[in-house]
Amino acid sequence: MHPPTSTKMLARAKVNLCLHVTGKTADGYHLLDSLVVFPNVGDVISVAPADILGLQIDGPFASGLSCSDNIIIDAAKTFGTRRGAAITLIKNLPVASGIGGGSSDAAATLHLLADHWGVALPGAEKTLQLGADVPVCMTAKAQHMQGIGEVLNPVPDLPEFAIVLVNAGVLISTKHVFAALSKTRNPPMDAAKGFADFNGLCDYLKSQRNDLQAAASKISPEISRVIKALQAEPACALARMSGSGATCFGLFETLHQAQDAAMKIKKTNPDWWVQPAMVYR
């Protein structure tokens, strides 16, 4: 009998196509209303048999990350077991970049370890305790996210489209961005009546917002520069910041258009992280 082999999962980036800040709870958490998607790009998590629990980090954005003080280890500990596993993170996504890299890593770890150890996934309450974005990352599918991140509803009629993610290498503190908000009570998202096609989706998104974009842009003017670079591409239907930044995105109808735009942006800005990808139903 052969021993179990390593299993792996793509921890997809989380992109907020729009993000409305609608209020604040008594204990200081911001209430959100957001349309979230998961492009086919992300970190890679793998799990292999081991006597003790451990984490190894590699990849283009591994520098500076801790193997002990890490949300992946926190996720593993939610099972309340003393089982071992050798976890490897290939960090392909920029750190602290508004695309849920850490939360998606935690979600992928939970799925992999539940399968690896043959146990049930932790409940919703424990998942939320890991971070507000972890519940939506557990689905890795388009969701209408509300509350502090715990209220989720699927978006079944979302069309397939392409996206270009761009980060100028700027680290922004989510805490500082929320602190810089001029208003914490803003109108919620308009009710979506369905998206017949890519153009319908973009028309809807153009009437929505990211309430954190202005605050983040004041902290990091590079965000505005990235958005302008995306808007300059003729096939880009919409450019906006994701989450609390500093990663921005441009929407394209086809992957070929996205790849072409990404190549041009990267050529002009070689120090930027630029990644085209598909967003599937």
Told to judge if 133 belongs to the known catalytic residues of this protein, a careful annotator would answer yes
Domains and CATH numbers, the chain: 7-147 (3.30.230.10), 156-279 (3.30.70.890)
The residues, any chain, with a CB within 8 Å of residue 167's CB and separated by 6 or more, are 94, 97, 226, 246, 247, 248, 272, 273
Look up residue 102 and give its amino acid. G
Q: What is the pLDDT of residue 259?
A: 98
User: Average pLDDT of each block of 10 consecutive residues along the chain (281 residues)?
Assistant: 67 98 93 98 97 97 95 96 93 96 98 96 94 96 96 93 97 93 95 90 97 97 98 98 97 98 98 98 82
Q: Which of 33, 105, 133, 211 is catalytic?
A: 133
Q: For 204-207, which contacts have Cβ atoms below 8 Å and span 24 or more sequence positions?
A: 205/17, 205/18, 205/35, 205/238, 205/240, 205/251, 206/238
| pLDDT number for residue 82 | 82
Which pLDDT score, from 0 to 100, does residue 5 have? Answer: 56
**Whose CA is closest to 189, among 15, 13, 12, 16?**
16
In the residue annotation, 260 being an active-site residue is answered as: no
- Alpha-carbon span 219 to 235, nearest angstrom: 29
Q: Is residue 239 reached through a cis peptide bond, with omega within 30 degrees of 0 on the bond before it?
A: no
pLDDT number for residue 1: 36
The pLDDT, as a whole number, for residue 196 is 87
Separation in Å, CA 202 to CA 97, 189, 228: 23, 14, 17
**pTM for the full predicted model:** 0.95
Backbone angles phi, psi at 136, to 5 degrees: -70, -30
Give the active site residue among 14, 33, 43, 105: 14
